[in-house]
Amino acid sequence: MLTYVYEFSEGNKDLKDLLGGKGANLAEMTNLGLPVPPGFTITTEACRAYLADGAMPDGLAEQVEEKLRALESAMGKRLGQPDDPLLVSVRSGAKFSMPGMMETVLNIGLNDESVRGLAEQAGDERFAWDSYRRLIQMFGKTVQGIDGELFEEAIEQAKRDKGVTDDLQLDAADFRRLVEEFKGIVAEHTGREFPADPREQMDLAVKAVFESWNAPRAVLYRRQERIPVDLGTAVNVCAMVFGNLGMDSGTGVAFTRDPATGRQGVYGDYLANAQGEDVVAGIRNTVPLAELERIDKRSHDELMSIMETLENHYRDLCDIEFTIERGKLWMLQTRVGKRTAAAAFRIADQLVEQGMITRDEALERVTGDQLAQLMFPRFDEKAERDLLGTGMNASPGAAVGRAVFDSYTAVKWSRSGEKVILCRRETNPDDLEGMLAAEGILTSRGGKTSHAAVVARGMGKTCVCGAEELDVDTKNRRMRTPGGRIVEEGDLISIDGSTGQVFLGEVPVVDSPVVRYFDGAEPAGAQADDLVGAVDRMMAAADKARRMGVRANADTPEDAARARRMGAQGIGLCRTEHMFLGDRRPLVERLILADTGQEREEALAALLPLQREDFTGIFDALDGLPVTVRLLDPPLHEFLPDITELSVRVAVAEARGEENENDLRLLQAVHRLHEQNPMLGLRGVRLGLVVPGLFTMQVRAIAQAAAERIRAGGDPRPEIMIPLVGTVQELEIIRDESVRVLREVGEEYGVGLEFPVGTMIELPRAALTAGQIAESAEFFSFGTNDLTQTVWGFSRDDVEASFFSSYLEKGVFGVSPFETLDTDGVGRLVRIAAQEGRAARPGLKLGVCGEHGGDPASVHFFHGAGLDYVSCSPFRVPVARLEAGRAAA
Ligand code: PEP
Ligand code: MG
C-alpha cells in the first residue's frame, strides 16, 4: 500500500512533489531540530487519487488515524478532548505556491464542550470563544462554501450593538453570542448543524483542501502560470499553538535579509497577543522585529539563532512565520523568500562573497526580467499622482513631458528644449521623428506589437499603448477622459511604461544607476552603490558562461554606439526603412512615381549617396563587428501620403479649380499600391524583385560605404540580409545581383568586398524549405515577429488590441506569443529550419532578430535550439547577455 501520510519528521525539503512546499519545509525544520509543532502531511498523491476517483483512496483513513494517534500521544491530549482539547490547523500546500487559492482552517477540534475545556486550560474565556467563532467562520467559508461576508457582517453588527469599533473590545460573552449566530448561519445555508465531531471536522477540511485544487480561480491561475494541472496539493495537519493567549504571546513574520533591498540584517514584524491572520489582515499595527528583543529577549535570541541556522542550511534568504505561545517560540513555516529585483542581485552576490554559493549558482538566482526592472527609470514612489487612465505597459520606464499630438510639434518643441510626450491614436512610420524627439509615447489604440510599442521598445523609449479610455483627438490637439477631464496640447503628463498608467502633471522620476553603468556613465566597480557592483560581477559570470553571441537591432550610428557600450557584439538587424523617411520622402515619391526607367534611375541615384552616408556612420560605430543590414521591407505605400488625406486634398483642389499634377499622380500611385493585407503583400524581397534597381541601390550603398571605410583604415563587416523570403528562387535572384554589385564596387575601389549574403526566415514556407534555402544563403536570421504572425495567422498590428486580452483571461495562453516565443509551434519551425539548414550547409550561422531575441524565456529556447546569436534592442542587450549565460551555466 502507498504511504499517503508522513509525519513531519519523515519528510525533507527535497520532497516538494509529494509533500508540497510547505510540508517539505516543515519536515526539514523538524529534522533540523527546530521547534515545529508536531503534525503530519497528507501527500499530493492522495489528492490526485481523490480527484481521479471522487473518493478518498483506500487506506488513507487508517493512515490518518495512525498519525493522528501519534500526534495525540506526542501532545498528551486527544483531538477535541472535552477537558483539554488538542486543536489542529489544516492547510493546503502545493509544490508551487499558488497565492489566492490556499485554503486554511484553524482551531479544528472545538465544539460546545471542548471550548469550555480550552477556556479552563488557557484560563481565558474570551480566547476560547474567540477561537471557536474563528473555527466556524473559516470552516463555513472554506469548507462549506458560505459567503464570508455573512460572518463579517455579524461581527460588525455585534460591534455596532455594543458601540465599539475594534474586535479587541468584544468580550467572551460577545463571542459566545457570535458562536450561536454563526452556527445559525451554517445551519441555514447547509441545512445541517455545524459538525461537532472533531474528526469529522478534520476530514471535511482535508477534503475541501483537495477540492480547492480544481476551484475555477486555481485552474485559471495554473494555466496562466503554466503550472501543470495534475500535481495536486498536499495537506498539512499541525497541532495549534496560540499567539493570542495574552501579552506574553504573539505572532510574526521575519526575513533573514531585507527582501526589499537585499541589505544584510534581519527584518520582520511582530504583533503581540495575536493570531497569524491578524498580522496579514493589518487589523492592528505591528512592531519591528527588533522590538521583540525588549518584549521577550529569550524568544528573540532563539529566533535569531534559528534564522541563522535556516539561512546557512538553505543557503538563501528565508522567510519565516512564527508564533510565541506564553514565552515559547514555535516555527510555523519557512521557505526561500520572494524578493525584489535589487534584492535578488545583492543577495546572490553577497552569498558568493560569503562563500555560501558559487557564481554559477548565483547566476541561477537572478533573472533577465529582474535586470530589466533595474534598468528602467521610475516614478518616485512617494510622490503624489493624479491618474488619468491606464493602458498597456508596452515599453517600460517613466516619462514626463508636455502632451503633443503630432510628430511635427514633437520635433519642434523638443528642439526648443521642451520635453514632450507624443500622444497619438496609433503611430506609423511617419511618426518616427516625433517618437525619437519625445520622452515617451502614448497611444489610445494598438497592442504590445503595434508600431508604437515595437518601435518604442527598440528605441528604449517609454510607451503606454492602447489606453482606450483616453480619447485622443489629434485634430483639436487634446485628449479627453470618460469623466470629461481634458488634456490640452502643452499640459504636463507622466506615463509609466511599467504599469501602463497615465498621470496628469509631473511625477518626479528617479534614474537607474544600473543603466548609467551599462551606458558607461558609471565606471564598473567604482560605484559606491553595491547594486552596481553586484550587477557587474553577475554580468562577468554570464559573459563567461554563455555560448551564444548577443547582437543588437539598431539602425542609427547613435543606437549602434550605445548597443556596443551595452555589450552588443554586432548588429543583428539594421532596418533600412527609416532611411527612406523625413527629408528623403520626396526622393522616394519620385522613385515610386517614376514612369520611365530614366526617372527611376535618377531617383535612385539621388538616394544612393544618402544611403551610403547612413551605412558609413554605422560601420564606423561598429568597426570590427558584424552589421547585418536588411534590405527594405515594408510595403511602398507606407512611404506615400495617407489615402484619405490625399483624396480630400485632391477633391478640395479640384473644387477650387487648382488641380495639382503631382498630387493626382500621387493619388493614382496610392490607389495602385493600396492593399487589403499589406503585411502579406508587396513587401520584403518581393519589392526587391518588382521595383527595378531598388535593392541594387541599397547593396551598392553598403558596398561603397564599406569600401570607403576600408580605405580609411577601418574594418567594416556588413552582412546583407534579404527579408521575407518564401522560396529559394527569390533569394537566388537577389543574391546573384548582390554578389555582382559587391564585386563591381570592390573592383572600382580596388578593395576586396566579400561579405556574406543571407536571409531572414520569417515565413513558414521558408522554415519548411530551409534545406533548399540554405544552399543559397550564407546565414539565417529568424524573424520571429513575422514568423509568429504567419504561423498563427495573427495580425501583429491588431490582435493585441482586439482579442488578446480575452485570450489571456481565458487562459488560451499565459503570455502573448509575440512577447515570448511559442516554442511548440513557432519554435518547432525554428528547430526544423536550424537542423535542415545546417544539414545542407554545415556551420550555417543562425541568429534571431525578432523581438523574442531579448525575451528571457525565448533566449533559453534559442540556446537549446543551437542558435549562434540573438539580436535585440540595445536596452535589452544586457538582459540577453545575462539570460544567454544563465541558459549555458
Ligand atoms: C521579424 O519579423 O521578426 C523582424 C525582425 O522583422 P520586422 O519586425 O522588421 O518585420
Ligand atoms: Mg519581419
**Domains, in order of start, for the chain:** 70-239 (1.20.80.30), 250-339 (3.30.470.20), 377-511 (3.50.30.10), 546-635+675-888 (3.20.20.60)
- Contact between 258 and 265 (Cβ < 8 Å): yes
C-alpha cell at 481: 477622459
- 762 assigned to a ligand binding site: yes
- The answer to whether 886 is a known ligand-binding residue is no
Give the ligand whose atoms come closest to the C-alpha of residue 787: 1
Does 784 show up as a binding residue in the annotation?
yes
849, 852, 873: residue to mutate for ligand 1 pocket, most atoms within 8 A of CB: 849
* 849 catalytically annotated: yes
Q: Which atom of ligand 1 is nearest to the CA of 781?
A: 5
Output the residue whose Cα is nearest ligand 1's atom 3: 783
d(Cα 627, Cα 715) in Å, to the nearest integer?
A: 11
**Among the ranges given (141-145, 393-397, 465-469), the one the predictor scored with the smallest mean pLDDT:** 393-397
Which among 30, 25, 653 has a CA at the least distance from the CA of 334? 25
H runs (alpha helix) in 571-660: 585-593, 597-621, 643-655
| pLDDT of 702 | 98
Percent of the chain with pLDDT over 70: 96
d(CA 599, CA 609): 17
- Distance from Cα 784 to the centre of ligand 1, integer Å: 7
pLDDT in the model for residue 661: 85
741-794 tens-digit pLDDT? 999 999 999 999 999 999 999 999 999 999 999 999 999 999 999 999 999 999
Q: Are the beta carbons of 513 and 341 closer than 8 angstroms?
A: no
Instruction: Tell me which ligand sits closest to the C-alpha of residue 630.
Output: 1
Q: Whose CA is nearest to atom 1 of ligand 1?
A: 783
Per-residue pLDDT, 283 = 52
Ligand 1 atom, smallest distance to 573 CA: 5
Query: Could you tell me the distance, in angstroms and rounded to a whole number, from the CA of residue 783 to the centre of ligand 2?
Result: 5
User: What's the predicted TM-score (pTM) here?
Assistant: 0.81
Residue pair 27/42 in contact (Cβ under 8 Å)? The answer is: no
Q: Is residue 630 a known part of a binding site?
A: yes
* Tens digit of each residue's pLDDT (9 = 90 or more) over 108-154: 999 999 999 999 999 999 999 999 999 999 999 999 999 988 999 99
CA of 454 to the centre of ligand 1 (A): 10
Using CB distances shorter than 6 Å, the residues near ligand 1 are 573, 575, 633, 762, 783-786, 849-850
785 is in an annotated binding site: yes
Q: Is the ipTM of this complex over 0.95?
A: yes
Confidence band for 269, pLDDT divided at 50, 70 and 90: confident
Listing from the earlier edge strand, what are the strands of the sheet with 233-239?
5-7, 39-42, 233-239, 88-94, 104-108
Would you say 79 and 86 are in contact if contact means Cβ atoms under 8 Å apart?
Answer: yes
Query: β-pairing, 779-782 with 757-761?
Result: parallel
> Which ligand ends up closest to the CA of 575?
1
Tell me how far apart the alpha carbons of residues 161 and 463 are, in angstroms, rounded to a whole number: 53
Residue 762 CA, closest ligand 1 atom number: 2
300, 451, 637, 852: which one is catalytic? 451
Q: Is the pLDDT of residue 811 over 80?
A: no
Cα 27 from Cα 12, distance rounded (Å): 5
In 191-314, alpha helices (H): 198-212, 216-225, 276-281, 292-295, 297-314
Closest ligand relative to 782 C-alpha: 1
Q: How far apart are the first and last CA of the chain?
A: 41
Q: How many separate helices (H) and strands (E) can be counted in the chain?
A: 36, 31
- Helices 856-864 & 826-840 angle (0-180, nearest 10): 30
Chain-centroid distance of CA 704 in Å reads 43
Annotated active-site residue in 463, 849, 860, 863 = 849
Please report the pLDDT score of residue 19 as a whole number. Answer: 97
pLDDT, position 729 = 98
Residue 782 Cα, ligand 2 centroid: separation in angstroms? Answer: 9
In the beta sheet, which residues pair with residue 117?
Answer: none
Pocket test for ligand 1, best of 575, 722, 855 (most atoms within 8 A of CB): 575
CA distance 791 to 108: 55
Residue 422 Cα to ligand 1 midpoint, Å, equals: 24
Nearest CA to ligand 1 atom 6: 783
pLDDT tops 90 at residue 624: yes
Q: What are the residues whose beta carbons fall under 8 Å from the beta carbon of 68, sequence distance 6 or more?
A: 40, 79, 199, 202, 237
Compute, in angstroms, the gap from residue 328 CA to the centroid of ligand 2.
65
Q: Are 430 and 423 in contact (CB under 8 A)?
A: no
Give the DSSP letter of residue 566. Answer: T
Q: Is 421 helix (H, G, I), strand (E, B) or coil?
A: strand
- Give the pairing type, strands 440-443 and 420-424: parallel
Nearest CA to ligand 1 atom 5: 850
**What pLDDT shows up at residue 529?**
58
Distance of CA 499 to the CA centre of its chain: 11
DSSP designation for 379: E
Label residue 803 exposed, middle or buried (CB < 10 Å: 0-12, 13-18, 19+): middle
